[in-house]
Amino acid sequence: MIEARKWGEFSDGREVSLFTLTGSDGFQVQITNYGGIITSILAPDKDKVPGEVTLGYDEFESYTDEIPYFGCITGRVANRIGKAEFTLNGKTYKLAANNGNNHLHGGVKGFDKVLWDARVEGETLELKYLSPDGDEGYPGNLETTVTYSIEEGTGLRIEYKAVTDAETPVNLTNHTYFNLAGSGNVLDHRLEIPGSQVTFADAESIANGDTLPVEETPMDFRKATRIGERIGADYQLLNWALGYDCNWILDKNMGEYGLAAFVKDEASGRLMEVLTTQPGILFYSGNYLDETIASRTGGQLEKHSGFCLETQHYPNSPNIPSFPSVILRPGEVYNHTTLFRFKRCKCGG
């Protein structure tokens, strides 16, 4: 079941809607057509009591402030593009440098800051947006469709599609911050990522094409490990990012739909599985969350009070020929699926 209501209004009179998708055992997801933002997910704990597991806000106006991409669609290209430029067919395209010297999550006004056209079709919410040629420096008119639906009662399925009339890079993802405990930090969450390598990122978080094995490093999450267990280790990638902010190369075949991450909070008994067709997943441990950012309840956030698991192609791919291509061509369809599936367990200590 999907319910829709007016949630806000821009100064020019355009209305913003909020959609509520309801599953089983109290599972509920709220999504707005502003930025395709997942504003709330209620998931049942081990006692079947539903609780909030995302960072975000209950009012539209809070999302118009400068916040760290809570819950949104990021695009045209998620993550960073080095020096805010790329070359395609011999032409160099200059993008907005909105993260130091680099381009981040689609630019100054990326897909997270636009109003999408919304349509409810049965049990599916469909959002559409036409990004015009030259938008934030990207070539081609890109028509993007993102659909949300409940799967198996307590899972959120997100499907991304896009078509273009000119060659252009596309790499879409969702940027929800999760906290399965509902409050505090996430350092006691246990995380598993089936990835044997990560993409190297420098002090500006820019990938250069190199990959690193995770074995015998703090990046090894092939077995479930506390997020906080090695976050303070003296390791270059952690030192530069002040915690985890790195892309894992998934061991599954590219394009294969399979497990990308598993997270468990033992205190609440909540589990979350992430499945995707994408070749990579970026794990970010909320390193820059702090008391300057308001929480949903009116207090302040703390460092590591949420984590992101962004299913995607590799960062800076438009500039790295050895990475899987993110170039979409006329006549092709960009298409990928991600599922956030929530479960319960009687966890041990």
Q: Is 238 part of a structural domain of the chain?
A: yes
| CA dihedral over 60, 64, 67, 72, signed as positive or negative | positive
Q: Is 145 part of a structural domain of the chain?
A: yes
Q: Exposed (0-12), middle (13-18) or buried (19+): which is 19, by Cβ within 10 Å?
A: buried
Say which CATH number the domain at 234 has.
2.70.98.10
Domains in the chain, number: 1
Q: Is 310 part of a structural domain of the chain?
A: yes
Confidence of residue 297 (pLDDT cuts 50, 70, 90): confident
- For the stretch 118-157, pLDDT in tens is 999 999 999 999 999 999 999 999 999 999 999 999 999 9
Q: Is 175 part of a structural domain of the chain?
A: yes
Q: Exposed (0-12), middle (13-18) or buried (19+): which is 97, by Cβ within 10 Å?
A: middle
Radius of gyration (C-alpha) of the chain in whole angstroms: 19
- Name 256's Cβ contacts closer than 8 Å, sequence gap at least 6: 277
Instruction: Out of 89-93, 297-301, 309-313, pick the least confident.
Output: 297-301
- Cα distance between residue 74 and residue 171, in whole Å: 8
- For the stretch 35-53, pLDDT in tens is 999 999 999 999 999 999 9
The structure's pTM equals 0.97
Q: Is 196 part of a structural domain of the chain?
A: yes
Q: Is 157 part of a structural domain of the chain?
A: yes
Which helix (H) or strand (E) segment holds residue 236: the answer is helix 236-241
Q: Is 19 part of a structural domain of the chain?
A: yes
Which residue segment(s) compose the domain that 196 sits in? 2-344
- Cα distance between residue 276 and residue 261, in whole Å: 9
Distances (CA, A) of 292 to 68, 245, 335: 11, 20, 37
Q: Annotated active-site positions, please? A: 175, 310
Q: Is 334 part of a structural domain of the chain?
A: yes
